[in-house]
Each structure stands twice: as structure tokens, then as C-alpha cells.
Amino acid sequence: MIKKILASFFILLFIFSFENIFSSQGNNLNLNARSCIILDRTSKKILFGKNEYNKVKMASTTKIMTATIILENCDLSKTVTISKKAAGTGGSRLGLKTDDKITIRDLLYGLLLVSGNDAAVALAETCSGSVTDFANLMNEKAKELGLNNTHFETPHGLDSDNHYTTAYELAILTDYALKNSTFLNIVGTKNYTITINGYPKNLTNTNELLGSLNGIYGVKTGFTNGANRCLVTSCKRGDMDIICVVLGCDTKNFRSSDSTKLINYAFENFEYVNIKDLVNSEFNIWKESNSNYFSIEKGVTSNLEIDISEISSPIIPIKKDDISSLKVEFSISKELSAPLYKNTSIGKFIVYTSSETILEGNIISCQDINKKDIFFYLKDFFKNYSNILNNVSLNF
């Protein structure tokens, strides 16, 4: 009986430990979101993903693209007159009426803080003349940014079968949008007063995490019956800067709690590592241990200088538990043939940990090495012949 009890105890202990391991790795966050992602802004590395490449409706997170198009194409100080179509747009609203007068800048605050669908249509009409033409601009921008699984039909994101994105592409779009200082300032504003027809109107940001969770500085909420609750969040603590996207949550509380879980997971489990310094250090050690390494067939020399290719993201977040297992390996061709040109790839390097591949790149030649021609052989012949004659004369 005691043996059975002990056996049951150890089984339960093992299960508990196993669950804790998975929890620490982000596999047991108990997320409600249908799809989500954590994207590191510095390296563009995905720190966590769940169905991040699935095409889904995105509701008012659409307005991240709407604002981007306006900021890149319009004079924000311009005052516009609200059309009947814009004033009649349903869903979440700024409260615009037909013939209201308001600046484009204030429309942007109404778009991004209170998620005004009426403001979205007004901005689209001001920029392009119609919602359809504005959607074309949105899709052109999506193509420019490489968002191949994103398509827009409206500036507000009300449900439509051909209006969709992915969590990953929405994160990429958000990263781009945040590079605009005006966008960055607006989405980080908790309260703001706009003017409609000369009268003030106070706005409060619908982003429930802004001002309540450490490091949050944007970005945008969303809700439709088709998309459910959505939230795109940007957060920076210390040097680490991330974007968190949750799509398809059942309730506002779930989108808040999922976002909080993911954000805390990222900052608790990852740390920036200077991969470029690590690779360079290991590469210098390799070169010191492999002098006279190359044999270049028919080359005028075998003294080849080599280097690593450019590392586009030298700083990469690594799981803290994996940092001690970081390794760099080099695979470099020894037998080469002339002619050999500068920047030719002659090998590979790989950076990895016990759980993942971090980075791969090329080893490249730093110079041209010409192929021996007839003149080289003649010059070599006469040089050797001269040496023989000199040796003969010295013996006499």
C-alpha cells in the first residue's frame, strides 16, 4: 500500500514538474486568443506565436494602416467638412455629424483613441475621394511592406470576407507605423481634447493597458462580431522593445489578460545578446587556428582573407535558460578554384542553442584572386631559371 502511495506521489510530482517546465517555456499560458504573436522590434524575431500566420478578421486594428496612409499623404492641419456618408457610419463612433468642421489631425485622434468609424470614412474620403480608392492605397502599402496575406476593403475594419490579415503581418505593419513620430505620439496618448466646429470634445483612449501596465506605449484596440476582441500592444522595458498582437479573444478581459501574460512572458524569459560580437570572437579564434587553410587551384596565391557577411540584426533576444548553450559553428570550403572574386560565399556559419537555431550567414572572400595565365607561368619559369643560374655561379 505504501509503495502504491509513493508511486502515485512521484507520478504527480513528475506531472507537476513537467507542467512547470512547459509553463516556463510559454507552452502553457492558457491563452484565449485564436491567434497571437510577440515580435521583437529590434531583431524582428518571433518570441512566441500561436496561429500567427492564419488569415483572420482584425476589426479596428485596421486603423493602424488607415492612420499610416493619412500620415504619409495628407496635411494634418487642413480642416475638412464631414460628408453624410461619413456621419452615417455605424459601429464605434467619434460622434461626427454631416457638415461638421474638423482638422485631419483631430480626426486621427478620433480614429486612434476612440476608434471612430465615422472618422475613418471621413479620412478616407479626404485623402482619396472614396472608401474604395482609399482601400486601394491601403493594399498598395501592404504590398510595399511585403504583407502578402493582408487585404483591406475599408478604413475602419467592419466585418467583410475580403478584409483580413495575420497576427504576424499586423505586427510587422505596427512596427512600421510606430516609426512615424506622430503616430507614436497619438497611440501613446491616454486623454486628448479635439475641436469640432470650434467646440472642445474630450477623448479617452480605448486601450485598457495604456497607463496600467509597465512599459506600454500604444497601440490599438478592435472589436467586431466576426473578429471578436483584438488588441495590438507595444511595450518597452529597458532595452527590450516588443509588439504583442492578440486576435479573436472572446471578451475584453481575455484580450487584456492574454496580452499581459504574453508581455510578461517575453520580458521574464528573454534577454538581448550581441550575436555579432559572439560570431566575430569565435571567427577570429577559428582564423588563428587555421592559418594557411586554403588551397586555391590555379590561383596566383592561396593567401585568402575571409570575413563574415553582414549581420542585419546584431542584437537578438535569446531565452535566458539557453544563453549558456550558445554555440557558433563554421563550415568553410578548403579546396577552391581560381578565379575567385571578392564577396564570393565560400562557407557558412550557424549560431544555435540547445533548443533552436538563432542565425545563419555566409563566410565571404575579401579579395579577388586571379587565375594563373601563360604570363604568370613564363614569369615563374624565368624566376626559377634565374635562381638556378645564380646557384650555379656561386658554386664556381
Catalytically active residues are: 60, 63, 115
Cβ 171 vs Cβ 245: under 8 Å: yes
CA distance 1 to 18: 26
Helix (H) or strand (E) segment spanning residue 185: helix 181-187
Cβ 72 vs Cβ 243: under 8 Å: no
Cβ 19 vs Cβ 28: under 8 Å: yes
SS3 state at 152: coil
CA distance 33 to 46: 17
Edge-to-edge strand list for the sheet holding 240-249: 46-50, 35-40, 240-249, 228-237, 216-224
Query: How many CA atoms lie within 13 Å of 297's alpha carbon, on the beta-carbon side?
Result: 5
Cβ 44 vs Cβ 321: under 8 Å: no
Reference 64, options 160, 147, 148; nearest CA is 147
